[in-house]
Amino acid sequence: MKHGQRLALSIILAAVSAPALAQAPDDRLRAAVAAIGLDMSAEAMIGHCEQAAPSAASGLRPKWRQWREDVLIQQVSSAIAPEKLAQVRDGMTSVATASVDKLKQMGPAERVCPDIAGWLKEGPFDMRGAYPAVYADLAEAGQAKASASAPRPNQATAPRTPAKTASAPGLDPALVQGLLYHGYGITGANGYEFREETLLLFKDGTAYFGDMASAELDVARSRQAEPNLWGRWRRKGDDFQMLRNDATGRPRGDWYDQSGRLIATWKPGQRLDATYTSKAFHGSLGLGGTYSSTSYSFSPDGRFEVIGFRRSGSGSVAAAGSGFVASGSGYSDGKGSRASAGGGSAGAFAGSQSRSDDGAGSRGVYRLDGLRLELKYDDGHTESVLCAPWSSDLKDIYMFGRTFSRG
């Protein structure tokens, strides 16, 4: 990545997030606000790349998850009370939007998107370098917890029964009560948005509050390494209440009401015979934007195909101001990828078309079990994602962190 591009990205992140950071009264809260803004920005940029240039975005999402783990994203953001977290995230929507806008200005997605892997290691994403005191406190708290739990010399201790945990990696369906799903609409910087949140509830009364787009959760390791992502759940009539842990694993605050409904799990080896689609639009009609559609077509014989479509346009403001219009579109399925682009004014117009790959990265075999969807692609790579049906009619399913609806 060129120094100028790296500097520009740093400036846009810092400038847009500065008001929110200035309002935070201490370093730990400032670090929490910064972590949320960076996390949302990285996710938004990767999401854009996955739509605009899928091949260039390959491997970015695992690197983002690794960054979240390296900077202790959940421990740092736990400085913000649960009831205030949604408010902070709403305020950071503009940071994520500005990051994507800056990414688009840097050049074609095929060329720029691979640089994101390097950005996650430097500049504004270097959380440990920016907030050394916060991370020193977190490390000290972790050591204090370990010392407090260790037996003292000559202290007699009764044998402990090992806790029931899922085998690593992946979830043991027998231990899971279900997935608590909460979908809601908010009005933010980009207008109305529909957001989805999930909490993983276990039969022993514990709950996991972390990122669950992937099904590869090592429960035992997570309980020990990131206790603030865990807590307790209980029913209150037909509703639910939650009690979060702090960074030391102790209860934080009081029980609070949690909206949502418990959704079912898959039967082992269950098959589908339908196509599920998720659609999105980023941008505006005036300034231009991108419409995207992603569909997963599942067959009863255990095969699947991913069908992706995107279309971008320059918007009515550009057309009215300069007379220039531009558009591009892309389509991918089990037979390969096709793309076209063009632009010009009333006097001249130019366009191009391209075709690539054989579609092996968009087809393969699938398997459902519990809360897991395993996708084995014909090109050799595998994905394991959290997945669950909304209801027995299978009209909607939750996967890849959002809802897909049957067409």
Give whole-number Cα distances, 337 to 86, 283, 299, 309, 359, in Å.
Answer: 38, 24, 21, 10, 7
- Token pair, residue 117, equals 């892997």
Over residues 133-172, the pLDDT tens digits come to 787 777 766 544 433 444 333 333 333 222 233 333 457 7
Q: Which of 58-67, 217-226, 259-268, 282-291 has the lowest mean pLDDT?
A: 282-291
Handedness of CA 384, 389, 394, 396 (dihedral sign): negative
3-state secondary structure of 393: coil
Over residues 54-77, the pLDDT tens digits come to 878 878 888 888 888 888 887 888
Which of residues 290 and 74 earns the better pLDDT score?
74
> Which pLDDT does position 230 carry in this prediction?
93
Q: Which of 30-34, 98-102, 127-131, 156-160 has the lowest mean pLDDT?
A: 156-160
- Please give the Cα distance from 39 to 100 (Å, whole number): 13
> Which pLDDT does position 305 carry in this prediction?
93
Buried b (16+ CB within 10 A) or exposed e, 322-355: eeebbebbbbbbbeebebebeeeeeeeeeeeeee
- Please give the Cα distance from 72 to 207 (Å, whole number): 19
Domain boundaries, the chain: 3-131, 173-263, 274-345+352-406
- The confidence band for 193, taking pLDDT boundaries of 50, 70 and 90, is low
Over residues 298-325, mean pLDDT:
66
- The confidence band for 215, taking pLDDT boundaries of 50, 70 and 90, is low
In 3D, which of 364, 367, 324, 366 has the Cα closest to residue 345? 324
Which of residues 392 and 346 earns the better pLDDT score?
392
Q: According to the per-residue pLDDT averaged within each range, which of 31-35, 152-156, 175-179 is highest?
A: 175-179
- The confidence band for 311, taking pLDDT boundaries of 50, 70 and 90, is low
> Which pLDDT does position 39 carry in this prediction?
87
Which of residues 235 and 8 earns the better pLDDT score?
235
- Please give the Cα distance from 21 to 37 (Å, whole number): 10
Give whole-number Cα distances, 380 to 56, 264, 302, 361, in Å.
Answer: 17, 30, 16, 8
> Which pLDDT does position 189 carry in this prediction?
47
Over residues 73-112, the pLDDT tens digits come to 878 888 877 767 777 777 778 778 888 888 888 888 888 8
> Which pLDDT does position 277 carry in this prediction?
92
In 3D, which of 48, 47, 49, 54 has the Cα closest to residue 360? 54
> Which pLDDT does position 59 carry in this prediction?
80
Answer yes or no: is pLDDT of 27 > 50. yes
- Token pair, residue 405, equals 């609806």
Give whole-number Cα distances, 279 to 24, 247, 276, in Å.
Answer: 36, 37, 10
State the pTM of this model: 0.51
Instruction: Determine how many CB atoms are found less than 10 A away from the CB of residue 93.
Output: 17
Over residues 228-256, mean pLDDT:
90
Over residues 163-183, mean pLDDT:
66
Q: Taking all residues of the chain, what is their mean pLDDT, rounded to a whole number?
A: 73
Over residues 316-375, the pLDDT tens digits come to 433 444 444 445 566 666 776 665 544 444 454 444 454 556 788 889 999 998 888 999
Over residues 394-400, mean pLDDT:
90
Answer yes or no: is pLDDT of 302 > 70. yes
- Please give the Cα distance from 216 to 343 (Å, whole number): 44
Q: Which helix (H) or strand (E) element contains residue 44?
A: helix 27-52
- DSSP calls for 152-211: PTT---PPPPPPP-PPSSS--GGGEEEEEEEEEEEEETTEEEEEEEEEEEETTSEEE-S-
Query: Which amino acid belongs to residue 304?
Result: F
In 3D, which of 219, 117, 115, 132 has the Cα closest to residue 174? 219
Which of residues 215 and 48 earns the better pLDDT score?
48
- Please give the Cα distance from 273 to 141 (Å, whole number): 51
Share of the chain above pLDDT 90, in %: 15
In 3D, which of 96, 106, 95, 97 has the Cα closest to residue 2? 106
Which of residues 143 and 257 earns the better pLDDT score?
257
- Please give the Cα distance from 397 to 407 (Å, whole number): 12
